[in-house]
């Protein structure tokens, strides 16, 4: 299987390494593929939209004519994971500064943790996991509310930080930075 990492800006090499770790951990054969153009997207069976700067990533998605192809693949059932900036991009509502893909019924707030706490770690209880996941938050958004078919999988006192709607996962934090392969394994398991 080929797991795509949208490689326009942001934490791209970190996700490639995390996909490789998760493939090893799950004993599955496959590879991580950089997705930069629509023809790259045709090769992959799942896609990660990484953290970075959501305004920049969104602008580059349009520049390289990836928006419609990504939305179409997602609607056709391709597993996708948006982390941090990627979470903002796949959500339905926000502050209006970027065009969101509206793939999950979720409303997000950018930079929700304020300047004092630009970056921090939390041991996070995730639904269905038997031990906490060390989650790294970097100028993170929060998922303010979910509705419809979208379900919260993890929360902190400030709000929801992980949600799933069918084939789409959205995370306010960076799951690729700590070496724990479980969330990438979860995405691989959805393929
Ligand atoms: N603050 C960034 C944004 O609003 C997201 C930060 C991140 O992806 N680590 O796009």
Encode pLDDT of 62-115 as tens digits. 999 999 999 999 999 999 999 999 999 999 999 999 999 999 999 999 999 987
Instruction: Enumerate residues lining ligand 1, CB below 6 A.
Output: 51-54, 84-85, 88, 110-111, 138-139
> Residue 167 corresponds to which tokens in the numbers above?
């084939």
Instruction: For residue 25, give its domain range.
Output: 2-189
Candidate of 57, 98, 120, 138 to mutate for ligand 1, largest count of ligand atoms within 8 Å of Cβ = 138
Q: How many structural domains compose the chain?
A: 1
* Atom of ligand 1 lying closest to residue 53 CA: 10
User: What's 154's domain CATH number?
Assistant: 3.40.50.880
> Residue 175 corresponds to which tokens in the numbers above?
């799951």
> Residue 110 corresponds to which tokens in the numbers above?
């950018």
**Residue located nearest, by CA, to atom 5 of ligand 1:** 85
Encode pLDDT of 2-56 as tens digits. 999 999 999 999 999 999 999 999 999 999 999 999 999 999 999 999 999 999 9
């Amino acid at each position: 299987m080929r797991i795509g990492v949208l490689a326009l800006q942001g934490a791209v090499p970190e996700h490639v390494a995390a996909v490789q770790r998760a493939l090893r951990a799950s004993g599955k054969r496959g590879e991580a593929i950089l997705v930069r153009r629509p023809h790259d997207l045709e090769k992959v069976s799942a896609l990660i939209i990484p953290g970075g700067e959501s305004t920049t990533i969104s602008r580059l998605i349009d520049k390289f004519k990836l928006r419609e192809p990504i939305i179409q693949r997602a609607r056709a059932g391709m597993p996708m994971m948006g982390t941090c900036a990627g979470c903002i991009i796949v959500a339905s509502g926000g502050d209006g500064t970027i065009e969101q893909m509206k793939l999950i019924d979720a409303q997000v707030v950018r930079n929700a943790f304020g300047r004092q706490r630009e970056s921090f770690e939390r041991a996070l209880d995730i639904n269905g996991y038997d031990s906490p996941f060390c989650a790294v938050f970097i100028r993170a958004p929060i998922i303010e509310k979910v509705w419809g078919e979208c379900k919260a999988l993890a929360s902190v006192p400030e709000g929801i930080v992980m949600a799933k709607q069918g084939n789409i996962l959205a995370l306010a934090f960076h799951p690729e930075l700590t070496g724990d392969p479980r969330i990438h394994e979860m995405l691989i398991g959805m393929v």
